[in-house]
């Protein structure tokens, strides 16, 4: 069985956020699974996400979970609901905590995490990188 995460992680390495859409029921999902969690179908097509989403929750981390993150605190870990429907964990960048609210419109960027991973992060719409 191929790793269901592989297409997503390969996309991340190229600064692309692609979602697995079910070829039967048409719905996308995250986190990636071998079968569509909505209908159980195993045939999935990976398509580019719009990169638009809204803020579903967040937490500003003040205490690093390990020394790797110590230089970065405080940082904002967030849950973002993508325009296509699925939700993922990410970070919100370039936004003070006071500006955060549920439903805040966000757009996709990519950033390198302290462990070296290239990962999607989000910034408020209209804030340029």
Partner 1 sequence: MSGLRDAAIVGIGESRLGRVPGMTALDLQREAAEAALADAGLSFADVDGLLTTPVRTESWAMPCGMVAQEFGLHPRYIATLDVAGASGCSMVAHAAAALATGQASTVLCVAGQPGLSHHGRDSMVKTLAGAGWAHPDLEAPYGPLVPTLYALVAQRHMREYGTTAEQLAEVAVAMRGWAAMNPNAQKREPISIADVLASPMVTSPLHVLDCALVSDGAVAVIVTGKDRARDLKQRPITPLGAGHGFSHGYIGEYQALTSTASADAGRAAFAQAGVTPGDIQVAQLYDCFTITVIVELEDLGFCAKGEGGAFVQGGRIGPGGALPVTTHGGLLSAGHPGLAGGMFHVVEAVRQLRGDAGSRQVDGAELALVHGNGGIIGLHCSLVLGRL
**Site residues (CB under 8 A) for partner 1?**
5, 8-9, 30-31, 56-66, 68-69, 72, 75, 77, 79, 81, 86-91, 97, 101-102, 113-115, 117, 119
- Cβ of residue 97: shortest distance to partner 1, in angstroms? 7
Cβ-based nearer residue to partner 1, 51 or 61: 61
Q: How far is the CB of 115 from partner 1 (least distance, A)?
A: 5
Q: Shortest gap between Cβ of 122 and partner 1 (angstroms)?
A: 11
Question: What's the min distance (Å) between Cβ of 103 and partner 1?
Answer: 9
Please tell me the distance from the alpha carbon of residue 62 to that of residue 125, in angstroms, as a whole number.
Answer: 25
Q: For the chain, how many residues are written?
A: 129
Residues with Cβ within 8 Å of residue 129, at least 6 apart in sequence: 94, 109, 123
* 3 state DSSP class of 62: coil
- Of the pair 66, 128, the CB lying nearest partner 1 is at 66
Q: Which of 125, 128, 8 is closest to 55 using CA atoms?
A: 125
Nearest partner of 113 among 20, 12, 28, judged by Cα = 12
């Amino acid at each position: 069985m191929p790793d269901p995460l592989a297409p997503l992680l390969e996309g991340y390495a190229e600064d692309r956020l692609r979602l697995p859409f079910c070829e039967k029921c048409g719905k996308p999902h995250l986190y990636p699974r071998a079968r569509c969690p909505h209908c159980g179908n195993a045939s999935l097509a990976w398509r580019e996400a719009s990169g638009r989403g809204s803020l579903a929750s967040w937490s500003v981390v003040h205490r690093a979970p390990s020394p790797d993150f110590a230089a970065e605190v405080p940082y904002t870990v967030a849950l973002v609901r993508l325009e296509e429907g699925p939700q993922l964990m990410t970070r919100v960048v370039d936004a003070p905590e006071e500006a955060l609210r549920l439903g805040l419109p966000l757009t996709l960027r990519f950033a390198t995490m302290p462990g070296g991973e290239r990962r999607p992060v989000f910034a408020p719409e209209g804030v340029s990188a």
